[in-house]
Structure formats: C-alpha cells, structure tokens
Amino acid sequence: MKRFTKEENSWMYYDWANSAYSIIISTAVFPLFFKASATRAGVSPADSTAYLGYTIAIATSILAMLSPVLGTIADYKGLKKRFFTFFFVLGLVSTASLAFIPSDQWLLLLVFYTLTAIGSSGSNVFYDAFITDVTSEERMNRVSARGFGLGYIGSTIPFLISIAIIVLSQNEVLPISTTIASKIAFVITAIWWGIFTIPLLKNVYQKYGIEREPQPIMNSFKRLGNTLKEIKKYRPLFLFLLAYFFYIDGVGTIITMSTAYGSDLGISSTSLLIILFVTQVVAAPFAILYGRLAEKFTGKTMLYVGIAVYIVVCIYAYFLKTTLDFWILAMLVATSQGGIQALSRAYFAKLVPKKNSNEFFGFYNIFGKFASIMGPLLIAVTAQVTGNSASAVFSLVILFIIGMTILLFVPEPKADSSHTISA
C-alpha cells in the first residue's frame, strides 16, 4: 500500500473496522439472536419482526434528523474528530454491551441495538467527511473505492469466525450454547471495530473548517437554515443529491431485502449465509476496480455502469427460479455494490467546499437515510398488489432509471469545486 499516504491508509481502515458491525450486527447475527430472544419471551414471530423494523426506523430517523445539525457544528475547526470519537465510542460500547444483556430481555436488546446503530451511522457521517482532509481531489475515487474494498474484506474475517463458532456450537462441537456463541460474535465485532479504528484516531486530523465563533450552536443552526434556503442554488450539488436519492434507494433496498427475497424462493438460511459471505468477498476487488476505472473513464461514467448493472439485476430477478439463479444475481450485485457507493461518496466530496464538508455530508447522509424508506415501500406495495415478490423487485427499475436520468444533468466537478460551489 505504498501508493497511499499514512493518512489515506488510516482513513481507509475505518471501513475495514466498521464493516464488521454492518454484517454481524445489522445484517446477520443480531437479527437472528433477537428473534430467538423474543420467541423465548413469548413474542410472536410477526410481532418480533415488526418491533425490529420499528427500531431500525426509529434509529434511522434520529440519525437523519441529527446528521445535518451535527455536521454543521462539527465544521468548526477541531470539532470533527471529537464528534467522530463520540459516536464511535457510543457504537463500540453499545455493541459490546449486547453480550451482557440477558437473552430474554428482548426490549433491552432493542434499546442497545438502537444505540449501536446511532453510534455506527453517526461516526460514518464524520468518517465520510474526513475524505476531504486526507486526500486530494484527483485521488478521491481510488481512495474511497479502496476503503469500500477493504471494508468488504475486513467484514468477512470476523463474520467467518463468528459463523464458525455459532455453527460449531449448534452441532455441539463446542461446549457452548448458540446464545453464548452469538454473544461471543458481538464481542468479536466490538474488538475488531476498536482495534482497527486506532489508526484513524492517531493519524487523521481535520485540515479544513471554519473558525470558531461565539455561540457556536446557535450560529450553526443559522448556517444550516441558510444552507437549506440556498441549496437549490447549488445546482450541481443539488442535482447530484436528487439523483443519489433515487439510485441509492434501489441499491439499499436490494441489499436489505435480498435475504427475505431468497427465503421466498425457498433457499435455506445456511445457503443464504454462504451466498452473503461470498458476495462480500467478490465485492472487495470490484470496489477497488471501480476506483481505478473511474480514474480512466471518470467517476460519473462508472456510476452509469453501476446503475446499468443494477437495472439488469432487477430484470433478472423477475425471472428468478432456482438457487443457481440467486447465486448469479448475488454475484452481479457484488460487481457493483461497493463501487457505486464508493464513487458516490467521492463524487459528492468533489462537489462540496472543504471547510463545510461536515455540513454537506450531513445532507448526503440524510438523503441516503430517507431514501431507504421509498424502496422498501415500493417493494411492499407492488408485492401486495401483484402477489408476486419478483414483480416487486422488478419495480425498482423505476428508481434506477430516474436516478440515471437526473445524473445526466449533473456537471463534472471543476478543479476548484472542493473550495467553492457555483450556482
């Protein structure tokens, strides 16, 4: 990794660190652990799923509302690292605490899960904004993409260890219960997250920001209000956020709904976990490849490629029948999942003024959070109307086409766009 500076490497390794939380807590182990806990407490499967859904919605809403405000305050010099550290510690401690909550206390599990989600998502707002401090504009595509690639690789290691412990406990190879094995997975996640965040804490610093002033909180709200009033005048940035809102909604929906869709096809949970693991492995090199190709063909061109792949995914999903079909679909997703997210982050970073990067990444975060509502809703309505989950996935084509169309009107970032935004 000699091609990258110490600051770039340290920043990228937070993707490696935090991705363990994403797959173990958000996607795989905790949801199953919670469902089992709620069942033992007499909660019906339908109700436990609903409670988990409500919890995710609450945590998402809290972060969506807080992100722009916190980002605006953190734009003052010297505050970005403090805010990052606060949310990182909140997420880390809450994740470790999951292992010490009695397994029948399902409501308490949800409370701490909410705290883990706020900590993880909150730290990511400031982590994303740090990209303007650690690298130059011409290197952003490659650095952002490599971060996502490392994230996919890093997530598979603790995930594989955790799944191995759980499977061995289920087969009585290890003298522990599945409950204890799941709690060990939570501890592994916290340790992994903590250790690999150390480079960022040591080597990454805020270079850009605005000078502190009296009554910073009040003035931050005023600046946020002015930005909201004026954001439509920032035409390139506003159009990109609008395009991002639609296409990232489709990406996020496919990620979050894929397991449920696979279950509807009759694919076993073990097969789904294996497919999820392989998807993470395959996604890593492709995320890095997207970054390199973006340097040759521009980030915008590769965003078009990623969106086109997802349109193919939605069409292919309509004809899905077998486990092999699902494998093919998952591998198609793996080719573009990380790349489209990484290049979106880098493209947006080129459009924002560096001294206000936290504030604008707060808006980037809120657009991503609220976008995660429309896709699942479209899936749910289409599935109920047609009675066919394949038709529901196919309906996501609409989101990708809208996003791609709007992206056509987004100009390429200018050389000095990291300092000013033209109307």
Per-residue pLDDT of 314-355, as tens digits, reads 888 888 778 888 899 889 988 998 889 889 988 888 888 777
| Residue (of 356, 398, 72, 348) closest to 216 by Cα position | 72
Can you tell me the distance from the alpha carbon of 362 to that of 348, in angstroms, rounded to the nearest whole number?
12
CATH architecture classification, 6-208+216-407: Up-down Bundle (1.20)
Domain locations along the chain:
6-208+216-407
Answer yes or no: is pLDDT of 388 > 70. no
Confidence of residue 1 (pLDDT cuts 50, 70, 90): very low
**Is pLDDT of 419 > 60?**
no
CB 396 within 8 A of CB 379: yes
Strand partners, 210: 76
Average predicted confidence (pLDDT) for the chain: 82
DSSP designation for 78: T
pTM over 0.95: no
Q: Is the pLDDT of residue 399 over 60?
A: yes
What's the pLDDT at 171? 83
Give the integer Cα–Cα distance in Å for 16 and 14: 5
Least confident of 127-131, 397-401, 413-417: 413-417
> Buried b vs exposed e over 151-189: b needs ≥16 C-beta within 10 Å?
bbbbbbebbebbbebbeebeeeebeeebbbbbbbbbebb
Average pLDDT for residues 10-37, to the nearest whole number?
Answer: 87
DSSP 110-164: HHHHHHHHHHHHHHHHHHHHTHHHHS-GGGHHHHHHHHHHHHHHHHHHHHHHHHH
User: What does the alpha-carbon distance between residue 132 and residue 110 come to, in Å, rounded to a whole number?
Assistant: 35
Q: Looking at the predicted structure, is the pLDDT value of residue 121 above 50?
A: yes
pLDDT band with cut points at 50, 70 and 90 for residue 302: very high
- The token pair at 69 is 């405000």
The three-state secondary structure class of 76 is: strand
Asked if residue 158 lies in contact with residue 19, where contact means CB atoms within 8 angstroms, the answer is no
**Percentage of residues in the chain having pLDDT higher than 70:** 82
Q: Are 210 and 75 in contact (CB under 8 A)?
A: yes
Instruction: Please determine, for residue 420, whether its predicted confidence score (pLDDT) is greater than 50.
Output: no
